[in-house]
Amino acid sequence: MAKPSSPNQKKVGARVAVVAAGVVSPLGFGLAETLESLRKARDCVSPVTRFSVGQCRCKTAGQVPDDRLLAGQGEGIRGHRLHRASHMMIQALKEVVTQEPQFKPELAVIGTTSGGMSYGEHYYRSLRQAEELRHAPTWIANYPAQKPVIDAQEAFGFFAPCQVIANACASGTNAIGHAFECVRSGRYQRVLAGGYDALAEMVFVGFDSLQASTPEKCRPFDRHRTGMVLGEGAAILALENLELAQKRGAPVLAEIIGYGISTDNFHITQPEPSGVGPRQAMERALQSADISAGEVDYINAHGTATVFNDAAEGKAISTIFDGVPVSSTKSMMGHSLGAAGAVEAIVCLLALQHQFLPPNINFQALDDGLELNVVANEAQPALLSMALSNSFGFGGTNASILMRKFEV
């Protein structure tokens, strides 16, 4: 159980507001479409069409449609040369700029795992097969992880320094947590935070070869779960010192109030079975926010639907919390790796704003070894004040953030 803080303990640092947010994912383009998909419990996982999956066990993924992603963006030669990840980041940042045109970031902190991995594939495959390399400059230019962040900033006239966090599947949550600490500490007043990842063949085949991906539906925490499906997307949150945001009349969508991290170092791909790593990350987020476990109203779980991850996370949640509603929205859109924590932070934001519990779809029966209150198959209305978002990755890297509904 997380040790409750002393009631006389004084919170240190500035309050951190979310003043704008943007997202593109299999659930939709923008906050409104994402909200509608969540409320309708849409299964946005579909057959993979971008590359051949004939020899893979898993043949589905959560995908962002190219016809919408590329329509009207990046006109001219430069636009055609941008990677899909850059277009997703541009789309997400466009929504942020539309909501809050006066927000001028001093720093951008973005999480990702693979950058322009698909262009790296093209380059190395061409080298090995002695193919035509006239596209090599484009492939190489779009390969670095910071390129989509730079492209998105340039599209809207931002020139903030960029920090990229590549910490496996915890990257997006780590990026938001780090940005939160930057603002809370007073070192920065306005920071862009989020994550992105685009579906890539090498990554897809890699997860399939590990037999982590399922040929069936993704069903987190279900007794009959058989694995994950991959996804893709990008999400960005504009974080600002709350006092300064209120002084300039900026809208406050929510507050980030806590961040916790841990590393269990148990195995390169498997979590420590007892759930000690996730438990420590959640406990540290509660301590960071100076709140008790009983004050959390909803948990957006990492919930990949793999046997080991769900078991470890489920044990950790039930050790700390008593009956709090839990769901994994990866069941609806797949696991977008470095983008997952950022997209799921948007899910928490929408849940707090619109007072509902996002669903864990494809759910039939809770695993015998788990004691969780799963939000099964349908969104549910609820009174929510506090939401916790979890992201846990290969190598035992664990991160949790706490978000609070803003009360005027």
Question: Is 302 annotated in the active site?
Answer: yes
Asked whether 229 and 331 are in contact (CB, 8 A), the reply is no
DSSP 8-state secondary structure symbol assigned to residue 40: T
Give the separation between CA 392 and CA 306, rounded to whole angstroms. Answer: 12
What are the E-state strand segments in 265-343?
A: 298-300, 325-327
The CA-to-CA distance between both ends of the chain, in Å, stands at 32
Q: Which residue has the tokens 């803080």?
A: 5
CB atoms within 10 A of CB 106: 14
Residue 122's H or E segment, with its range, is: helix 117-128
Catalytic site includes residue 169: yes
Helix (H, G, I), strand (E, B) or coil at 259: strand
Residue 345: in which H helix or E strand, if any?
helix 340-354
Q: What is the Cα–Cα distance from 242 to 220, expressed in whole angstroms?
A: 36
DSSP state of 211: T
Query: Which residues, 6 or more positions from 6, have their beta carbon under 8 angstroms from its beta carbon?
Result: none
Strands 190-197 and 107-111: parallel
Q: Which residues contact 124 (CB under 8 A, 6 or more apart)?
A: none
Catalytic site residue from 169, 182, 218, 348? 169
Give the number of other Cβ atoms within 10 Å of residue 270's Cβ. Answer: 15
Amino acid letter at 95? E
What amino acid positions are annotated as catalytic residues? 169, 302, 335
